[in-house]
Amino acid sequence: MTTRRNFIKKAAIGTAAASVGGVLPGFSAKSYNSIIGANDKIRMAAIGVNSRGNALAEGFANEKNCEVTYVCDVDNRAMDKCSLTVLKNGGNTPKQEKDIRKLLEYKDIDAVFIATPEHWHAPAALMAMKAGKHVYLEKPTGHNPAENEILMEAVKKYKVVAATGMQRRSWPNVINAVQEVRSGAIGDVFFSKCWYSNNRPSIGVGKATEVPEWLDWELWQGPAPRVSNYKDNYLHYNWHWFYNWGTGEAGNNGVHFIDVVRWAMGLTFPTAVNSSGGRYYYNDDWEFPDSQVINFEFGNEKLITWEGKSAHGRGIENSSVGAIFYGSEGSLVLGGGNAYKIYDKNDKEIKNVTSDMGFTAGDTINPTQLLDHYHFLNFLDGIRKGTALNADINVGCISSTLALLGNIAQRTKSSFMTNPVNGRILDNKEAQSMWGREYQKGWEMTI
């Protein structure tokens, strides 16, 4: 049976062989170790550790010469749990700090990873950059497109290494699939469809209640405008479905394959966006669609669609998540894991690339645990050796902006044109008003 630690040892060898953050050709072990910073231990702080953050802490704690030295969360139970995770996997007990503002003052932190609720993603990343910390930011990179613009400018100013959690950009067979698309294996690719399917239950109608004793509710809200009452269906996961804090399924899961498709087809910002859908399955407090189709047009040449089904688990192409590329000579299907298939024009399978490392459907916390090592290593090598990041902040911000544009189209019930240079919405005042957001006084994002 393969344990995670044994896998990491094997994967490190495989990664080097694949030239994904590996030892540089022509270097002996001795000369490689003499490179400045090559063996420096990177001291990381974990920010937001309730679920996905706890999984990230486990992953980084298992990486060589990386130590999770601090955990930060407004839920003291989450900090205690994550501290045990770090101790089990990394062998050290991290210090705890509830307030990110205090945490970032500490000098014994080289880098942070951020897995907070989405309204905190960009503000936390900007604060970390200003403090001189390297950043690994979970998707989506921003709660709104304006935040993505700010982050792309900030990384240039503060000159830190900033990676995003678009981890499929580091998976070996996904990289191969992208190369197949780009090399013309299925001809000229003009259309791609991606999707996400899940059976999420109703979140019900929340009841006003006292703030739990384990939660700093004021700090949890942070940059977001204040709500009048705390309700019992806000935390921990359900914040995804409220406009004030989340980005719906498009930002939560759609962004992963929107990113892969955009990458494979060599696309950046679209020229037109529209969305259809609604909250059809349940009558509850969920504000985003549970059924949604977003269309992204790229001039008269390319089309991407994303289909989200949050309340129906029936997948597409035998996968709950994935993408299919349609080309002039065939098609390529990429499922949720590290595998893909190619079909000819007559729908005959001509190539099947498999992997025993894949996607665990229904796992909202750590669905791709073993594969994520490649992405973590790439970030750490970016800090140690200046290795090019597979998914830097620009990659994450552009793909996140596409998902958020889809949400804006959905909320305004409109189709609109966009500037292909920067994604800005054209000639639609209502949609343009949603490009940014209001912040709680004192929490505004400024570079």
355 and 421 together in one domain: yes
pLDDT in tens, 163-214: 999 999 999 999 999 999 999 999 999 999 999 999 999 999 999 999 999 9
Q: How many domains does the chain have?
A: 2
Strands (E), 175-218: 189-199
Instruction: Please report whether residue 243 resides in a domain.
Output: yes
Closest CA relative to residue 315, chosen from 347, 281, 359: 359
pTM: 0.88
Q: What pLDDT score does 313 carry?
A: 93
| SS3 (DSSP) at 359 | coil
Pick from 147, 168, 189: which residue ends a domain?
Answer: 168
28 and 79 housed in the same domain = yes
pLDDT digits (tens, 9 = 90+) for 263-292: 999 999 999 999 999 999 999 999 999 999
pLDDT at 51: 86
Q: Is residue 134 domain-shared with residue 186, that is, in the same domain?
A: no
Range of the structural domain that residue 410 is part of: 171-205+229-363+398-432
The reported pLDDT for the residue numbered 371 is: 83
Each residue of 66-103: b (16+ CB within 10 Å) or e?
bbbbbbbbbbeebbebbbebbeebbeeebbbbeebeeb
Q: Which of 3-7, 253-257, 265-269, 279-283 has the lowest mean pLDDT?
A: 3-7
332 in any annotated domain = yes
Q: Given this model, what pLDDT does residue 356 score?
A: 63
pLDDT per residue as tens digits for the range 11-40: 333 333 333 333 233 323 333 333 334 458
Q: Are residues 156 and 275 in the same domain?
A: no
Confidence band (pLDDT; 50, 70, 90) for 357?
A: low
| pLDDT confidence band for 364 (50 / 70 / 90) | very low
Domain check: are 255 and 267 in the same one? yes
Do both 145 and 183 map to the same domain? no
In a domain, 308, yes or no: yes
Tell me the C-alpha distance between 379 and 375, whole Å.
6
Q: Bigger pLDDT: 158 or 371?
A: 158
What pLDDT, on the 0 to 100 scale, is given for residue 40?
82
Report the 10 Å Cβ neighbour count for 203. Answer: 18
CATH number at residue 24: 3.40.50.720
Residues in CB range of 338: below 8 A, 6 or more apart: 171, 172, 173, 174, 355, 357, 358, 371
Of 55, 49, 44, the C-alpha closest to 373 is 55
Domain contains 377: no
* Residues β-bridged to residue 135: 112, 162
Residue 387 lies in a domain: no
- Residue ending a domain, among 168, 188, 221, is 168
- Is residue 148 left, alpha or beta, with left meaning phi > 0 and alpha meaning psi from -120 to 50? alpha
CA separation (Å) from 295 to 143, 204, 205, 308, 394? 20, 30, 31, 12, 22
Judged against a pLDDT cut of 70, whether residue 369 lies above it is answered with no
The number of angstroms, rounded, from the C-alpha of 16 to the middle of its chain's C-alpha atoms is 24
CA dihedral sign, ordered 253, 219, 42, 61:
negative
Alpha-carbon Rg for the chain in angstroms: 21
- Average pLDDT over the chain, rounded to an integer: 90
Tell me if 285 is assigned to some domain.
yes
Question: What pLDDT, on the 0 to 100 scale, is given for residue 228?
Answer: 87
Q: What is the pLDDT of residues 67-108, one digit of tens each?
A: 999 999 999 999 999 999 999 999 999 999 999 999 999 999
Q: What is the pLDDT of residues 308-351, one digit of tens each?
A: 999 999 999 999 999 999 999 999 999 998 999 999 999 999 99
In a domain, 84, yes or no: yes
Q: Name the more confident of 377 and 365.
A: 377
Banded model confidence at residue 410, pLDDT cuts 50, 70, 90 = very high
Quote helix, strand, coil % in the chain, to nearest 5.
35, 20, 45
Buried b (16+ CB within 10 A) or exposed e, 22-52: bbeeeeeeeeeeeeeebeeebbbbbbbbbbb
AA letter at 27: F
User: Residue 236: is the preceding peptide bond cis (ω within 30°)?
Assistant: yes
**Domain finish residue from 146, 168, 190:** 168
Token digits of residue 373: 């090592």
Percentage of the chain modeled with pLDDT above 90: 86
> Is residue 129 pLDDT above 80, yes or no?
yes
User: Whose structure tokens read 């985003």?
Assistant: 288
Rounded mean pLDDT, 353-373: 60
Give me 374's structure tokens.
Answer: 């490649």
Measured distance CA(60)–CA(240) in Å, rounded = 25
List the structure tokens of 318: 């035998």
Q: Does 85 lie in the same domain as 41? A: yes
DSSP 8-state secondary structure symbol assigned to residue 39: T
Residue 414's CATH number:
3.30.360.10
